[in-house]
Amino acid sequence: LKNLDLLLLTPVIILVVLSLVTLFSLNIIFFYGQSILFLLSFVIFLIFSQTNYLVLKLYSKHIYIFSIIILLFVLLIGIESRGAVRWVEILGFRLQFSEILKPILAISLASYLSSLKILNLKNFINTFLFLSPIVILIFLQPDLGNAIIYFLIVFLTAIYLGFPIRHFIVSFLPFLLAAPFLWRFLHDYQKQRILTFINPSLDPLGTSYNVIQSIIAVGSGMLMGKGIGQGTQSSLKFLPERQTDFIFATISEQLGFIGVIIILICFSLLLYRILQIIFNTNDNFSKILLVIVFFAFLTQIFINIGMNLGLLPIVGVTLPFVSYGGSSLLSNFIFLGLVNTISNYSKENKVLEIR
């Protein structure tokens, strides 16, 4: 335990405790389920915290191929729920591999990007082609939320690496021009979500219902909130997915602006600590891997809170360490374990340099 980065872990533990308290107020089954999932995820975190992540780099190609096989496997024999095939049941647990594979694929992506010598147009296009099979397979489940997350991680990391702006313009202009044609390939419910995001009054009791209830929940919490278990929208089940996608709205209603501030401070401390470790890391692969983790957390946080406030379309993205669900929790704790082990590695290197 002496190798645990407490500056990294403390805000996460606060978020998990806040999550468990909220889930307890909603349903005791949610609380017990998430408590078990947290303990399992924390054990995995400890394992990755002690793992030599540089060894994982050696198997980055194998990891990439394995991930594609797994996602094909999900499409073929996955469990269908609400028109989507995203889950596979193993030993009684439903696993969402589009979530679990995020930290694993981060290693493959970091390995590939760290091998680039020239930031030319060819390598820029190849960077997006590298993850395109993964994004396409996830989109086909369909899981638009995670497909967007994967794309944004690559996009933002490419900006960090310093690819010229003209490469972005040349590469994405054809897609922008093709957008009207790509609209045809979206599922009906995805089209409806986009349309009702632009104008919620189109379907207030249907597609817009979730976001309207979420906005009501957030607004009704005011400064101090209605109290734990006292929320009308969340406790009386007016708010759908109150324990997963809309747990931010649930906390906002129960704990008010104070609860929102606690969440934002914890996430800010987590992201700030990751940035500190990035600046203290000299190895190119490690630095890029940390940047990918940083953007993975940032995009999830930004999209989920944006959804809850009605500022972004609903795409099914969870709030890291807060939303109910084992796959998301496990994925984020693996990310955290990778950050922790890189932090330890960087400290050891600095000690050796001083000596």
β-bridge pairing 93-96 and 84-90: antiparallel
Predicted local distance difference test score (pLDDT) of residue 350: 57
Predicted local distance difference test score (pLDDT) of residue 208: 78
DSSP string, 99-142: HHHHHHHHHHHHHHHHT-----HHHHHHHHHHHHHHHHHHHTTT
Cβ contact 49:343 at 8 Å = no
**Alpha carbon distances (Å) from 97 to 112, 146, 270, 326, 331:** 21, 10, 24, 11, 9
Beta-bridged to residue 84, according to DSSP, are 81
Tokens representing 59 are 């198997």
Cβ contact 296:5 at 8 Å = no
For 343, other C-beta atoms within 10 Å of its C-beta total 24
Say if residue 142 is preceded by a cis peptide, omega within 30 of 0. yes
Predicted local distance difference test score (pLDDT) of residue 355: 47
DSSP string, 218-232: HHHHTTT-S-TT--H
- Residue whose pair of structure tokens reads 């890391």 in the numeric block: 281
Instruction: Catalogue the long-range contacts made by 166-170 (C-beta closer than 8 Å, 24 or more residues apart).
Output: 167/119, 167/121, 167/124, 168/124, 170/121
- Condensed to tens digits (0 to 9), the pLDDT of residues 85-141 reads 788 888 777 889 999 999 999 999 999 999 998 989 899 999 999 989 999 999 998
CA 291 to chain centre: 14
Q: H or E element: which one contains 340?
A: helix 326-354
Measuring CA to CA, which residue among 331, 323, 315 is closest to residue 84? 315
Query: What are residue 139's phi and psi, to 5 degrees?
Result: -60, -35
pTM above 0.95, yes or no: no
Collect all residues with Cβ–Cβ distance below 8 Å to 314 and sequence separation of at least 6: 193, 197, 210, 211, 245, 307
Predicted local distance difference test score (pLDDT) of residue 68: 94
DSSP 238: -
Q: How far apart are CA 281 and CA 337, in angstroms?
A: 16
Predicted local distance difference test score (pLDDT) of residue 349: 65
- Condensed to tens digits (0 to 9), the pLDDT of residues 173-208 reads 887 787 777 777 777 777 777 777 777 766 777 777
Measuring CA to CA, which residue among 267, 285, 266, 268 is closest to residue 342? 285
CA angle 302, 307, 309 (to 5 degrees): 95
Q: Mean pLDDT, consecutive 10-residue segments, the chain of 355 residues?
A: 88 98 95 96 95 89 93 89 79 86 94 92 91 92 91 94 89 78 75 75 75 92 90 86 93 96 98 96 94 98 95 91 95 97 79 49
Cβ contact 108:64 at 8 Å = yes
Cβ contact 246:26 at 8 Å = no
- Residue whose pair of structure tokens reads 């947290």 in the numeric block: 38
The residues spanned by each domain of the chain are 6-354
